[in-house]
């Protein structure tokens, strides 16, 4: 696989659903690490407003807003940051526009929020949400799972040290390496190779766990650090 982060896409990253909580918080971290950032939204003006806010917070100029499909078509590294229930439809919409070599980072988690039980991981036909979405990108485009376990709240507070791991799973080892290299540019984040995409189910369960930990301990920033590596 050709590294997509070369030429015009060197240190460029796009976020589908980038005006939302997780997308905008991740975009802020990448902008602060001097990446050129595209914020995607169904509503271009919302994307432009969020891009201006992120640029101001990060103290940089390279953040712009656009439509989701336009952001996806830019290629390189593209983060999928919409609710899981809407992710398949968005990927279907993007099916014909991907540039070969694009790496899609799936941050989505198939969760349902219940009043009594809190965050409940949905049972799917596929083992994980990411595996069900991976069928929806064409050959030549890789989907990896990552960043599912870091709460938007922590990512969005630039002064807060992340001090945690991000585990990346995917069936394409080169795509995992590309995403891990990108993740390593964010201060306080240690990328770990989580192996094949089937392990995404563990990441999705860890996200449900984080939400429960935050709730029980009245915290906002629970996250994971693997010891022994
Ligand atoms: N929040 C977290 O701490 C966290 C942590 C780990 C993973 N995640 C995952 O990240 C994803 C986004 O979470 P979030 O908390 O950022 O959610 P969110 O703020 O509710 O939604 C993110 C964005 O998704 C877009 N969206 C909403 N409905 C849509 C639809 N029908 N079709 C297409 N786009 C739609 C919206 O963007 P526009 O209206 O601008 O188009 C919205 O701003 C989820 O899959 C979640 O599981 C979240």
Q: What is the CATH number of the domain that holds 123?
A: 3.40.50.720
Burial letters 204-214, b for 16+ CB under 10 A, else e: bebbbebbeeb
Nearest by Cα to 92 from 145, 65, 132: 132
| 225 is a domain residue | no
Per-residue model confidence (pLDDT) at position 154:
94
Instruction: Output the CA 229–ligand 1 centroid distance in Å.
Output: 32
Q: How many CA atoms lie within 13 A of 125 on its CB side?
A: 3
Q: Ligand 1 pocket, 83 CB below 6 A?
A: yes
Ligand 1 test: best mutation among 14, 16, 19, 22, most atoms within 8 Å of CB? 22
| 52 is a domain residue | yes
| 112 is a domain residue | yes
Averaged over successive runs of 10 residues, the pLDDT of the chain (229 residues) comes to: 66 97 98 97 98 98 98 96 98 96 97 90 93 97 98 95 97 98 97 98 97 94 96
* Model-wide pTM > 0.95: yes
| 172 is a domain residue | yes
Task: Give the whole-angstrom CA distance, residue 69 versus residue 153.
Answer: 26
Per-residue model confidence (pLDDT) at position 1:
56
CA 206 to each of CA 108, 136, 202: distance values in angstroms, whole numbers, following the listed order = 12, 24, 6
Instruction: Output the CA 66–ligand 1 centroid distance in Å.
Output: 16
How many structural domains comprise the chain?
Answer: 1
Per-residue model confidence (pLDDT) at position 38:
98
Show the domain range for 64.
Answer: 7-216
Token couple for 17: 């659903």
CA 114 to each of CA 41, 47, 83: distance values in angstroms, whole numbers, following the listed order = 27, 30, 16
Ligand 1 test: best mutation among 21, 91, 110, most atoms within 8 Å of CB? 21
């Amino acid at each position: 696989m050709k590294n997509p982060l070369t030429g015009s896409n060197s240190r460029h990253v796009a976020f589908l659903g980038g005006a939302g909580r997780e997308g905008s918080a991740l975009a802020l971290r990448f902008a602060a690490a001097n990446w050129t950032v595209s914020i995607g939204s169904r509503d271009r003006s919302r994307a432009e407003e969020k891009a201006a806010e992120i640029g101001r917070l990060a103290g940089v100029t390279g953040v712009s807003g656009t439509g989701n499909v336009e952001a996806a078509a830019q290629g390189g590294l593209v983060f999928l940051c919409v609710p899981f229930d809407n992710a398949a439809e968005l990927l279907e919409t993007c099916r014909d526009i991907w540039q070969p070599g694009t790496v899609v980072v799936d941050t989505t988690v198939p969760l349902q929020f219940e009043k009594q039980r809190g965050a409940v991981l949905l049972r799917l036909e596929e083992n994980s949400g990411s595996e069900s979405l991976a069928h929806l990108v064409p050959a030549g485009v890789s989907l990896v799972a990552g960043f599912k376990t870091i709460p938007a709240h922590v990512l969005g507070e630039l002064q807060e040290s992340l001090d945690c791991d991000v585990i990346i799973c995917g069936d394409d080892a080169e795509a995992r390496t590309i995403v891990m290299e990108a993740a390593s540019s964010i201060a306080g984040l240690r990328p770990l190779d989580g192996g094949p995409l089937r392990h995404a189910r563990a990441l999705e369960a860890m996200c449900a766990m984080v939400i429960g930990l935050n709730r029980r301990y009245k915290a906002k920033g629970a996250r994971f650090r693997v010891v022994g590596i």
